[in-house]
Structure 1
Amino acid sequence: MSAYAGKKAVVTGGTHGMGLAIVEALLAKGMEVVLTGRNARTLDEARTRLAERAAHIVASDAASMTDIDDLGAVVEQQLGRIDALFVNHGTAEFQTLDEATEESYDRQFAVNTKGAFFTVRRLAPLLADGGAIVFTTVANDVVFPGLSAYSGSKEALRAISQVLAAELLPRRIRVNAVAPGFIETPTMGVVGLTEQQRADFLAQGERSTPLRRNGTVEEVAKAALFLAFDATFTTGVELPVDGGWGQGLTVPSDNTTGAAA
Protein backbone atom coordinates (compact mmCIF):
# COMPACT_ATOMS: atom_id res chain seq x y z
CA MET A 1 0.00 0.00 0.00
CA SER A 2 1.23 3.50 -0.83
CA ALA A 3 2.57 5.54 2.07
CA TYR A 4 0.23 8.29 0.87
CA ALA A 5 -2.92 6.17 0.93
CA GLY A 6 -5.55 7.50 3.29
CA LYS A 7 -3.98 10.93 3.55
CA LYS A 8 -5.95 14.09 2.75
CA ALA A 9 -5.03 17.44 1.22
CA VAL A 10 -6.41 20.76 0.06
CA VAL A 11 -5.17 22.49 -3.10
CA THR A 12 -6.30 26.04 -3.80
CA GLY A 13 -6.22 27.09 -7.45
CA GLY A 14 -6.35 23.42 -8.35
CA THR A 15 -8.48 23.36 -11.51
CA HIS A 16 -5.77 24.05 -14.10
CA GLY A 17 -2.02 24.43 -14.65
CA MET A 18 0.32 23.77 -11.74
CA GLY A 19 -2.49 23.34 -9.25
CA LEU A 20 -4.20 20.65 -11.31
CA ALA A 21 -0.86 18.86 -11.70
CA ILE A 22 -0.48 18.84 -7.91
CA VAL A 23 -4.03 17.49 -7.53
CA GLU A 24 -3.45 14.71 -10.05
CA ALA A 25 -0.15 13.74 -8.42
CA LEU A 26 -1.88 13.50 -5.02
CA LEU A 27 -4.77 11.46 -6.42
CA ALA A 28 -2.35 9.11 -8.18
CA LYS A 29 -0.82 8.38 -4.78
CA GLY A 30 -4.17 7.42 -3.32
CA MET A 31 -4.98 10.63 -1.48
CA GLU A 32 -8.32 12.37 -1.09
CA VAL A 33 -8.29 16.01 -2.19
CA VAL A 34 -10.41 19.14 -1.94
CA LEU A 35 -9.49 21.57 -4.70
CA THR A 36 -10.72 25.05 -5.48
CA GLY A 37 -11.12 27.32 -8.48
CA ARG A 38 -13.12 30.40 -9.38
CA ASN A 39 -13.41 30.17 -13.18
CA ALA A 40 -16.60 28.41 -14.32
CA ARG A 41 -14.95 26.89 -17.40
CA THR A 42 -11.95 25.40 -15.59
CA LEU A 43 -14.21 24.19 -12.77
CA ASP A 44 -16.35 22.29 -15.29
CA GLU A 45 -13.28 20.92 -17.06
CA ALA A 46 -11.85 19.71 -13.76
CA ARG A 47 -15.13 18.01 -12.83
CA THR A 48 -15.05 16.10 -16.11
CA ARG A 49 -11.36 15.26 -15.88
CA LEU A 50 -11.47 14.13 -12.25
CA ALA A 51 -14.85 12.38 -12.36
CA GLU A 52 -15.07 9.23 -10.21
CA ARG A 53 -11.83 10.07 -8.42
CA ALA A 54 -11.39 11.08 -4.77
CA ALA A 55 -11.61 14.78 -5.58
CA HIS A 56 -14.03 17.33 -4.16
CA ILE A 57 -14.21 20.42 -6.37
CA VAL A 58 -15.24 23.70 -4.74
CA ALA A 59 -16.00 27.01 -6.42
CA SER A 60 -14.15 29.53 -4.25
CA ASP A 61 -12.67 33.00 -4.70
CA ALA A 62 -9.55 33.54 -2.61
CA ALA A 63 -10.29 37.27 -2.51
CA SER A 64 -13.57 36.63 -0.67
CA MET A 65 -13.43 36.15 3.08
CA THR A 66 -16.88 34.55 2.91
CA ASP A 67 -15.68 32.03 0.34
CA ILE A 68 -12.62 31.23 2.45
CA ASP A 69 -14.81 30.59 5.48
CA ASP A 70 -17.17 28.44 3.40
CA LEU A 71 -14.19 26.48 2.09
CA GLY A 72 -13.20 25.68 5.65
CA ALA A 73 -16.68 24.34 6.33
CA VAL A 74 -16.52 22.13 3.21
CA VAL A 75 -13.11 20.78 4.20
CA GLU A 76 -14.38 19.99 7.70
CA GLN A 77 -17.38 18.18 6.26
CA GLN A 78 -15.65 16.30 3.44
CA LEU A 79 -12.23 15.54 4.91
CA GLY A 80 -12.15 16.41 8.59
CA ARG A 81 -8.45 16.58 9.43
CA ILE A 82 -5.99 17.15 6.58
CA ASP A 83 -2.35 16.25 6.15
CA ALA A 84 -1.26 18.92 3.68
CA LEU A 85 -2.37 22.30 2.38
CA PHE A 86 -1.13 23.59 -0.98
CA VAL A 87 -1.79 27.32 -1.32
CA ASN A 88 -1.35 27.56 -5.06
CA HIS A 89 -3.89 30.11 -6.28
CA GLY A 90 -2.72 33.39 -7.80
CA THR A 91 -3.31 36.05 -10.40
CA ALA A 92 -0.93 38.24 -12.41
CA GLU A 93 -1.55 41.30 -14.57
CA PHE A 94 1.00 43.01 -16.78
CA GLN A 95 1.11 46.72 -15.99
CA THR A 96 4.02 49.12 -16.15
CA LEU A 97 4.27 51.93 -13.60
CA ASP A 98 2.50 54.31 -15.99
CA GLU A 99 -0.26 51.78 -16.70
CA ALA A 100 -0.83 50.62 -13.13
CA THR A 101 -4.21 51.15 -11.52
CA GLU A 102 -5.25 50.96 -7.90
CA GLU A 103 -7.87 48.36 -8.80
CA SER A 104 -5.32 46.03 -10.40
CA TYR A 105 -2.86 46.48 -7.55
CA ASP A 106 -5.52 45.75 -4.93
CA ARG A 107 -6.84 42.77 -6.87
CA GLN A 108 -3.44 41.07 -7.07
CA PHE A 109 -2.65 41.60 -3.39
CA ALA A 110 -6.17 40.54 -2.39
CA VAL A 111 -5.80 37.20 -4.16
CA ASN A 112 -2.09 36.44 -3.91
CA THR A 113 -1.31 37.71 -0.42
CA LYS A 114 -4.38 38.43 1.69
CA GLY A 115 -6.30 35.48 0.28
CA ALA A 116 -3.40 33.11 0.85
CA PHE A 117 -2.84 34.31 4.42
CA PHE A 118 -6.48 34.00 5.45
CA THR A 119 -6.84 30.64 3.71
CA VAL A 120 -4.09 29.33 5.97
CA ARG A 121 -5.65 31.03 8.99
CA ARG A 122 -8.97 29.27 8.31
CA LEU A 123 -7.54 25.84 7.50
CA ALA A 124 -4.59 25.64 9.92
CA PRO A 125 -6.82 24.33 12.75
CA LEU A 126 -7.77 21.43 10.46
CA LEU A 127 -4.15 20.49 9.73
CA ALA A 128 -2.89 17.48 11.63
CA ASP A 129 0.09 18.11 13.88
CA GLY A 130 3.16 17.19 11.86
CA GLY A 131 1.43 18.18 8.62
CA ALA A 132 2.67 20.54 5.92
CA ILE A 133 1.82 23.75 4.10
CA VAL A 134 3.31 24.51 0.68
CA PHE A 135 2.89 27.94 -0.90
CA THR A 136 3.42 28.70 -4.57
CA THR A 137 5.47 31.89 -4.86
CA VAL A 138 7.56 32.86 -7.90
CA ALA A 139 11.21 32.97 -8.96
CA ASN A 140 11.64 36.69 -8.27
CA ASP A 141 15.41 36.84 -8.30
CA VAL A 142 15.41 38.23 -11.83
CA VAL A 143 13.43 41.45 -12.32
CA PHE A 144 10.59 41.24 -14.84
CA PRO A 145 9.29 44.66 -16.00
CA GLY A 146 5.53 45.06 -15.90
CA LEU A 147 4.92 42.71 -13.00
CA SER A 148 5.76 44.92 -10.03
CA ALA A 149 2.47 44.43 -8.16
CA TYR A 150 2.46 40.69 -8.84
CA SER A 151 6.11 40.28 -7.80
CA GLY A 152 5.52 42.35 -4.69
CA SER A 153 2.51 40.26 -3.69
CA LYS A 154 4.46 37.03 -4.10
CA GLU A 155 7.51 38.36 -2.25
CA ALA A 156 5.18 39.28 0.60
CA LEU A 157 3.84 35.74 0.49
CA ARG A 158 7.37 34.35 0.78
CA ALA A 159 7.90 36.44 3.93
CA ILE A 160 4.57 35.28 5.34
CA SER A 161 5.50 31.65 4.72
CA GLN A 162 8.71 32.03 6.69
CA VAL A 163 6.96 33.69 9.65
CA LEU A 164 4.28 30.99 9.65
CA ALA A 165 7.02 28.35 9.61
CA ALA A 166 8.21 29.79 12.93
CA GLU A 167 4.72 30.20 14.39
CA LEU A 168 3.70 26.62 13.61
CA LEU A 169 6.82 24.96 14.99
CA PRO A 170 5.06 23.94 18.23
CA ARG A 171 2.68 21.81 16.14
CA ARG A 172 5.53 20.45 13.98
CA ILE A 173 3.74 21.79 10.88
CA ARG A 174 6.36 22.46 8.20
CA VAL A 175 5.80 25.51 5.98
CA ASN A 176 7.70 25.85 2.71
CA ALA A 177 7.25 27.31 -0.77
CA VAL A 178 7.94 26.35 -4.37
CA ALA A 179 9.12 29.22 -6.59
CA PRO A 180 8.47 28.42 -10.27
CA GLY A 181 10.26 30.15 -13.11
CA PHE A 182 9.08 29.83 -16.71
CA ILE A 183 6.54 27.01 -16.60
CA GLU A 184 4.49 26.05 -19.65
CA THR A 185 0.81 26.48 -18.77
CA PRO A 186 -2.24 27.54 -20.80
CA THR A 187 -2.09 31.11 -19.44
CA MET A 188 1.57 31.30 -18.34
CA GLY A 189 0.09 32.62 -15.11
CA VAL A 190 -0.86 36.01 -16.56
CA VAL A 191 -4.41 37.27 -17.11
CA GLY A 192 -5.40 38.13 -20.68
CA LEU A 193 -2.36 36.93 -22.65
CA THR A 194 -2.89 36.71 -26.39
CA GLU A 195 -1.59 33.66 -28.25
CA GLN A 196 1.28 35.76 -29.58
CA GLN A 197 2.16 37.02 -26.11
CA ARG A 198 2.11 33.47 -24.81
CA ALA A 199 4.40 32.35 -27.65
CA ASP A 200 6.75 35.25 -26.87
CA PHE A 201 6.70 34.30 -23.20
CA LEU A 202 7.64 30.69 -24.04
CA ALA A 203 10.42 31.83 -26.36
CA GLN A 204 11.81 34.13 -23.68
CA GLY A 205 11.81 31.25 -21.21
CA GLU A 206 13.77 29.05 -23.59
CA ARG A 207 16.33 31.83 -24.18
CA SER A 208 16.82 32.95 -20.59
CA THR A 209 16.54 29.70 -18.61
CA PRO A 210 19.98 28.09 -18.16
CA LEU A 211 18.53 24.64 -18.86
CA ARG A 212 17.31 26.11 -22.19
CA ARG A 213 13.70 25.07 -21.86
CA ASN A 214 10.52 25.91 -20.01
CA GLY A 215 9.52 23.77 -17.07
CA THR A 216 6.46 21.53 -16.90
CA VAL A 217 3.62 21.61 -14.42
CA GLU A 218 4.51 18.04 -13.46
CA GLU A 219 7.97 19.19 -12.39
CA VAL A 220 6.45 21.82 -10.12
CA ALA A 221 4.07 19.22 -8.68
CA LYS A 222 6.96 16.87 -7.88
CA ALA A 223 8.74 19.65 -6.01
CA ALA A 224 5.59 20.58 -4.10
CA LEU A 225 4.93 16.98 -3.04
CA PHE A 226 8.58 16.59 -2.04
CA LEU A 227 8.28 19.54 0.33
CA ALA A 228 4.95 18.34 1.71
CA PHE A 229 5.78 14.69 2.34
CA ASP A 230 9.43 13.78 1.80
CA ALA A 231 11.40 16.80 3.06
CA THR A 232 10.58 15.95 6.66
CA PHE A 233 13.49 17.96 8.12
CA THR A 234 12.88 21.07 6.03
CA THR A 235 10.83 24.12 6.94
CA GLY A 236 10.91 27.83 6.15
CA VAL A 237 12.52 27.44 2.73
CA GLU A 238 11.61 28.60 -0.77
CA LEU A 239 12.62 25.98 -3.34
CA PRO A 240 13.30 27.38 -6.82
CA VAL A 241 11.84 25.31 -9.65
CA ASP A 242 13.21 27.50 -12.40
CA GLY A 243 15.85 25.65 -14.39
CA GLY A 244 18.55 27.81 -12.82
CA TRP A 245 16.89 31.06 -13.91
CA GLY A 246 17.24 32.85 -10.60
CA GLN A 247 20.53 31.29 -9.54
CA GLY A 248 22.92 33.48 -11.50
CA LEU A 249 23.91 30.70 -13.89
CA THR A 250 25.19 31.67 -17.32
CA VAL A 251 23.00 30.58 -20.20
CA PRO A 252 25.21 28.56 -22.56
CA SER A 253 25.60 29.64 -26.17
CA ASP A 254 24.02 27.51 -28.86
CA ASN A 255 27.33 25.93 -29.80
CA THR A 256 28.12 24.84 -26.23
CA THR A 257 28.08 21.06 -26.05
CA GLY A 258 28.48 20.70 -22.29
CA ALA A 259 30.84 17.76 -22.89
CA ALA A 260 33.71 17.24 -20.51
CA ALA A 261 37.19 17.85 -21.87
Structure 2
Amino acid sequence: MGRYSGKNAVITGGGSGIGLAIAELLVDGGARVMITGRSQTTLDAARERLGKNAVAVRGDVAALSDLDALADRVKGELGTVDALFVNAGIATLTPFETTTEEAYDELFAINVKGAYFTVQKLAPLLSTGAGVVLTTSVANVVGLPETSVYAAGKAALRSMARSFSRELLSREIRVNAVSPGPIDTGVLENAMTKEAAEEFKAQMVADNPMRRFGTPDEIAGAAAFLAFEATYTAGAELVVDGGTTQL
Protein backbone atom coordinates (compact mmCIF):
# COMPACT_ATOMS: atom_id res chain seq x y z
CA MET A 1 0.00 0.00 0.00
CA GLY A 2 1.33 3.38 -0.99
CA ARG A 3 1.22 6.47 1.19
CA TYR A 4 -1.68 7.89 -0.84
CA SER A 5 -3.46 4.67 -1.77
CA GLY A 6 -7.21 5.16 -1.98
CA LYS A 7 -6.89 8.94 -2.27
CA ASN A 8 -8.25 11.02 -5.15
CA ALA A 9 -6.65 14.29 -6.18
CA VAL A 10 -7.28 17.01 -8.75
CA ILE A 11 -4.46 19.26 -9.94
CA THR A 12 -5.11 22.23 -12.20
CA GLY A 13 -2.13 23.13 -14.32
CA GLY A 14 -0.93 19.58 -13.82
CA GLY A 15 0.67 18.97 -17.19
CA SER A 16 4.07 20.45 -16.45
CA GLY A 17 6.27 22.10 -13.85
CA ILE A 18 5.07 22.13 -10.26
CA GLY A 19 1.69 20.63 -11.09
CA LEU A 20 3.24 17.64 -12.84
CA ALA A 21 5.67 17.14 -9.95
CA ILE A 22 2.72 17.01 -7.53
CA ALA A 23 0.94 14.53 -9.79
CA GLU A 24 4.01 12.28 -9.98
CA LEU A 25 4.48 12.31 -6.22
CA LEU A 26 0.85 11.34 -5.60
CA VAL A 27 0.64 8.71 -8.33
CA ASP A 28 3.87 7.13 -7.10
CA GLY A 29 2.23 6.98 -3.67
CA GLY A 30 -0.83 5.16 -4.99
CA ALA A 31 -3.29 8.03 -5.52
CA ARG A 32 -5.62 8.44 -8.47
CA VAL A 33 -5.05 11.84 -10.01
CA MET A 34 -6.89 14.06 -12.49
CA ILE A 35 -4.80 16.79 -14.09
CA THR A 36 -5.94 19.73 -16.19
CA GLY A 37 -4.31 22.15 -18.60
CA ARG A 38 -4.87 24.11 -21.78
CA SER A 39 -2.43 22.26 -24.05
CA GLN A 40 -3.58 18.86 -25.25
CA THR A 41 -0.06 17.98 -26.36
CA THR A 42 1.35 18.75 -22.92
CA LEU A 43 -1.44 16.81 -21.23
CA ASP A 44 -0.94 13.79 -23.47
CA ALA A 45 2.75 13.69 -22.62
CA ALA A 46 2.01 14.04 -18.91
CA ARG A 47 -0.65 11.33 -19.03
CA GLU A 48 1.77 8.90 -20.67
CA ARG A 49 4.42 9.75 -18.08
CA LEU A 50 2.05 9.32 -15.12
CA GLY A 51 0.48 6.04 -16.17
CA LYS A 52 -2.88 4.42 -15.66
CA ASN A 53 -3.71 6.11 -12.34
CA ALA A 54 -3.90 9.52 -14.02
CA VAL A 55 -6.66 11.15 -16.04
CA ALA A 56 -5.96 14.24 -18.15
CA VAL A 57 -8.71 16.75 -18.91
CA ARG A 58 -8.14 19.69 -21.23
CA GLY A 59 -9.68 22.95 -20.08
CA ASP A 60 -9.14 26.61 -19.33
CA VAL A 61 -9.72 27.60 -15.69
CA ALA A 62 -10.68 31.10 -16.87
CA ALA A 63 -13.75 29.63 -18.62
CA LEU A 64 -16.51 28.67 -16.19
CA SER A 65 -18.00 26.28 -18.74
CA ASP A 66 -14.72 24.35 -18.71
CA LEU A 67 -14.79 24.25 -14.90
CA ASP A 68 -18.35 22.92 -14.99
CA ALA A 69 -17.19 20.21 -17.39
CA LEU A 70 -14.26 19.44 -15.10
CA ALA A 71 -16.58 19.06 -12.12
CA ASP A 72 -18.71 16.63 -14.13
CA ARG A 73 -15.64 14.57 -15.05
CA VAL A 74 -14.43 14.54 -11.46
CA LYS A 75 -17.83 13.42 -10.20
CA GLY A 76 -18.11 10.72 -12.84
CA GLU A 77 -14.57 9.33 -12.65
CA LEU A 78 -13.38 10.03 -9.12
CA GLY A 79 -16.58 10.56 -7.16
CA THR A 80 -15.09 12.54 -4.31
CA VAL A 81 -11.83 14.45 -3.95
CA ASP A 82 -9.41 14.18 -1.04
CA ALA A 83 -6.99 16.85 -2.26
CA LEU A 84 -7.41 19.77 -4.64
CA PHE A 85 -4.31 21.58 -5.87
CA VAL A 86 -5.19 24.94 -7.41
CA ASN A 87 -2.01 25.39 -9.36
CA ALA A 88 -2.95 26.66 -12.84
CA GLY A 89 -1.52 30.07 -13.60
CA ILE A 90 0.62 32.19 -15.87
CA ALA A 91 3.65 34.26 -14.93
CA THR A 92 3.77 36.94 -17.60
CA LEU A 93 6.15 39.76 -16.72
CA THR A 94 4.59 43.16 -17.39
CA PRO A 95 6.50 46.41 -16.73
CA PHE A 96 4.19 48.83 -14.93
CA GLU A 97 4.58 51.60 -17.51
CA THR A 98 3.63 49.40 -20.45
CA THR A 99 1.11 47.00 -18.93
CA THR A 100 -1.95 46.76 -21.18
CA GLU A 101 -5.53 46.16 -20.18
CA GLU A 102 -5.43 42.89 -22.12
CA ALA A 103 -2.40 41.64 -20.19
CA TYR A 104 -3.95 42.68 -16.88
CA ASP A 105 -7.26 40.99 -17.67
CA GLU A 106 -5.58 37.76 -18.83
CA LEU A 107 -3.47 37.47 -15.67
CA PHE A 108 -6.43 38.05 -13.37
CA ALA A 109 -8.79 35.83 -15.39
CA ILE A 110 -6.47 32.84 -15.10
CA ASN A 111 -4.64 33.38 -11.82
CA VAL A 112 -7.44 34.86 -9.71
CA LYS A 113 -10.86 34.21 -11.24
CA GLY A 114 -9.75 30.76 -12.37
CA ALA A 115 -8.58 29.83 -8.87
CA TYR A 116 -11.69 31.22 -7.18
CA PHE A 117 -14.15 29.34 -9.35
CA THR A 118 -12.08 26.15 -9.42
CA VAL A 119 -12.59 25.90 -5.67
CA GLN A 120 -16.24 26.92 -5.90
CA LYS A 121 -17.10 24.36 -8.59
CA LEU A 122 -15.23 21.48 -6.96
CA ALA A 123 -16.05 22.23 -3.32
CA PRO A 124 -19.24 20.11 -3.38
CA LEU A 125 -17.10 17.10 -4.34
CA LEU A 126 -14.50 17.52 -1.58
CA SER A 127 -14.61 14.79 1.03
CA THR A 128 -14.79 15.46 4.76
CA GLY A 129 -11.30 16.36 5.92
CA ALA A 130 -10.05 17.16 2.42
CA GLY A 131 -7.18 19.54 1.81
CA VAL A 132 -7.10 22.38 -0.70
CA VAL A 133 -3.75 23.92 -1.64
CA LEU A 134 -3.43 27.17 -3.58
CA THR A 135 -0.14 27.98 -5.33
CA THR A 136 0.85 31.53 -4.45
CA SER A 137 4.33 33.06 -4.81
CA VAL A 138 6.91 35.00 -2.83
CA ALA A 139 6.02 37.82 -5.24
CA ASN A 140 2.98 38.49 -3.05
CA VAL A 141 5.19 39.70 -0.17
CA VAL A 142 8.24 41.24 -1.89
CA GLY A 143 8.48 43.88 -4.58
CA LEU A 144 9.93 42.33 -7.72
CA PRO A 145 10.32 44.29 -10.96
CA GLU A 146 7.78 43.78 -13.73
CA THR A 147 5.48 41.67 -11.54
CA SER A 148 2.94 44.21 -10.27
CA VAL A 149 -0.08 42.48 -11.84
CA TYR A 150 1.18 38.95 -11.20
CA ALA A 151 2.05 39.76 -7.58
CA ALA A 152 -1.35 41.36 -6.96
CA GLY A 153 -3.03 38.21 -8.22
CA LYS A 154 -0.93 35.99 -5.98
CA ALA A 155 -1.72 38.23 -3.01
CA ALA A 156 -5.39 37.66 -3.80
CA LEU A 157 -4.81 33.91 -3.63
CA ARG A 158 -3.11 34.35 -0.26
CA SER A 159 -6.26 36.05 0.98
CA MET A 160 -8.45 33.31 -0.48
CA ALA A 161 -6.59 30.68 1.54
CA ARG A 162 -7.87 32.39 4.67
CA SER A 163 -11.42 33.17 3.57
CA PHE A 164 -12.01 29.80 1.90
CA SER A 165 -10.77 28.05 5.02
CA ARG A 166 -13.19 29.97 7.20
CA GLU A 167 -16.08 29.08 4.89
CA LEU A 168 -15.19 25.40 4.47
CA LEU A 169 -14.03 24.45 7.95
CA SER A 170 -17.58 23.50 8.90
CA ARG A 171 -17.00 20.51 6.58
CA GLU A 172 -13.52 19.92 8.07
CA ILE A 173 -11.95 21.05 4.78
CA ARG A 174 -8.63 22.86 5.19
CA VAL A 175 -7.42 25.44 2.69
CA ASN A 176 -3.77 26.48 2.70
CA ALA A 177 -1.23 27.92 0.28
CA VAL A 178 2.24 26.92 -0.82
CA SER A 179 4.43 29.87 -1.78
CA PRO A 180 7.31 28.99 -4.11
CA GLY A 181 10.37 31.15 -4.44
CA PRO A 182 12.61 30.83 -7.51
CA ILE A 183 11.84 27.40 -8.97
CA ASP A 184 13.45 26.15 -12.17
CA THR A 185 10.43 25.07 -14.24
CA GLY A 186 11.39 26.60 -17.58
CA VAL A 187 8.61 29.17 -17.35
CA LEU A 188 10.99 32.13 -17.51
CA GLU A 189 12.32 31.02 -20.88
CA ASN A 190 8.74 31.11 -22.16
CA ALA A 191 8.09 34.57 -20.72
CA MET A 192 11.19 36.40 -21.99
CA THR A 193 14.17 36.09 -24.29
CA LYS A 194 16.83 33.50 -23.52
CA GLU A 195 19.35 36.19 -22.65
CA ALA A 196 16.93 38.03 -20.37
CA ALA A 197 15.97 34.78 -18.66
CA GLU A 198 19.61 33.88 -18.00
CA GLU A 199 20.29 37.33 -16.56
CA PHE A 200 17.18 37.23 -14.38
CA LYS A 201 17.96 33.73 -13.10
CA ALA A 202 21.56 34.64 -12.30
CA GLN A 203 20.36 37.57 -10.21
CA MET A 204 17.79 35.42 -8.41
CA VAL A 205 20.44 32.85 -7.52
CA ALA A 206 22.81 35.57 -6.30
CA ASP A 207 20.07 36.98 -4.04
CA ASN A 208 19.02 33.60 -2.64
CA PRO A 209 20.50 32.55 0.74
CA MET A 210 20.87 28.98 -0.56
CA ARG A 211 22.43 30.23 -3.81
CA ARG A 212 20.27 28.03 -5.98
CA PHE A 213 16.88 27.59 -7.54
CA GLY A 214 14.43 25.19 -5.97
CA THR A 215 13.01 22.19 -7.80
CA PRO A 216 9.41 21.33 -8.62
CA ASP A 217 9.80 18.22 -6.47
CA GLU A 218 10.55 20.38 -3.42
CA ILE A 219 7.32 22.30 -3.94
CA ALA A 220 5.40 19.08 -4.54
CA GLY A 221 6.50 17.69 -1.18
CA ALA A 222 5.37 20.84 0.61
CA ALA A 223 2.03 20.89 -1.21
CA ALA A 224 1.33 17.23 -0.41
CA PHE A 225 2.18 17.88 3.23
CA LEU A 226 -0.39 20.68 3.39
CA ALA A 227 -3.03 18.58 1.67
CA PHE A 228 -2.65 15.38 3.67
CA GLU A 229 -0.46 15.71 6.76
CA ALA A 230 -1.08 19.24 8.06
CA THR A 231 -4.36 18.27 9.70
CA TYR A 232 -4.28 21.11 12.24
CA THR A 233 -3.31 23.84 9.80
CA ALA A 234 -5.80 26.10 8.01
CA GLY A 235 -5.47 29.40 6.19
CA ALA A 236 -1.68 29.27 6.31
CA GLU A 237 0.97 29.90 3.67
CA LEU A 238 3.99 27.60 3.60
CA VAL A 239 6.93 29.43 2.03
CA VAL A 240 9.41 27.30 0.07
CA ASP A 241 11.95 29.79 -1.22
CA GLY A 242 15.43 28.93 0.00
CA GLY A 243 15.09 31.57 2.69
CA THR A 244 14.61 34.48 0.26
CA THR A 245 11.82 36.16 2.22
CA GLN A 246 13.06 35.13 5.66
CA LEU A 247 16.82 35.70 5.80
Q: One fold, TM greater than 0.5? A: yes
Answer with 1 or 2: which has the greater Rg: 1
Structure-2 change in CA distance of 1:201 and 1:72 (3 Å):
same
Instruction: State the partner residue of 1:106.
Output: 105
The more displaced of 138-147 and 208-217 is 138-147
Partner of 1:215: 214
Report the AA paired with residue 66 of structure 2: D
Query: 1:235 and 1:191 mapped to 2: Cα distance?
Result: 34
The aligned residue for residue 194 of structure 1 is 193
Partner amino acid for 1:168?
L
2:44 maps to 44
Question: What is the Cα-based RMSD across aligned positions, in Å?
Answer: 1.2
Q: Is the 8 A contact 1:7 1:82 kept in 2?
A: yes
* Contact 1:84/1:133, CA 8 A, preserved across alignment: yes
- Structure 2 residues not aligned, in runs of 5+: none
Instruction: Indicate if the aligned counterparts of 2:67 and 2:121 stay in contact, CA closer than 8 A.
Output: yes
CA contact (8 A) 2:91 2:187 kept: no
Alignment of 1:74-89 (within 5 A): 74-89=73-88
- Cα distance in 1 between the residues matched to 2:44 and 2:91: 22
Structure 1 or 2: larger helix share?
A: 2
Deviation at 1:191, TM superposition (A): 4.8
TM-score by length of 1: 0.91
SS at match of 1:211: coil
1:208-236 CA deviation, whole Å, 9 max, x = no partner?
11111110000000000010111111111
Q: CA deviation at 1:195?
A: 2.2
Conserved? CA contact 1:138–1:180, under 8 Å: yes
Contact 1:91 1:191 in 2 (8 A): no
CA shift at 1:46, angstroms? 1.2
Alpha-carbon separation, structure 2, partners of 1:196 and 1:49 = 31
Change in Cα spacing, 1:36 to 1:119, as seen in structure 2 (3 Å) is: same
In the alignment, what sits opposite 1:29? 29
Separation in structure 2 between the aligned mates of residue 25 and residue 3 of structure 1, nearest angstrom: 10
Q: Which residue number in structure 2 is paired with residue 61 of structure 1? A: 60
For residue 232 of structure 1, what is the amino acid of its counterpart? T
Task: Count the aligned residue pairs.
Answer: 246
* In 2: Cα distance, 1:53 partner to 1:241 partner: 30
Q: Spell out, residue by residue over 1:119-173, the C-alpha distance to the aligned partner (whole angstroms, 9 max, x if none).
A: 0000000000111100000012221111111100110111011101111111110
- Kept after mapping to 1: 8 A contact 2:44/2:56: no
Partner of 1:256: none
**Equivalent residue number for residue 253 of structure 1:** none
* In 2: Cα distance, 1:235 partner to 1:123 partner: 18
Matches within 5 A, 1:150-161: 150-161=150-161
Query: 1: CA distance between counterparts of 2:190 and 2:59?
Result: 18
Judge conservation of contact 2:95–2:146 (CA < 8 Å) in 1: yes
Residue 33 of structure 1 aligns to which amino acid in structure 2? Answer: V
The one-letter amino acid paired with 1:201 is: F
Matches within 5 A, 1:81-230: 81-140=80-139, 141-188=141-188, 191-230=190-229
Q: Distance in 2 between matches of 1:16 and 1:163?
A: 28
Residue identity matched to 2:244: W
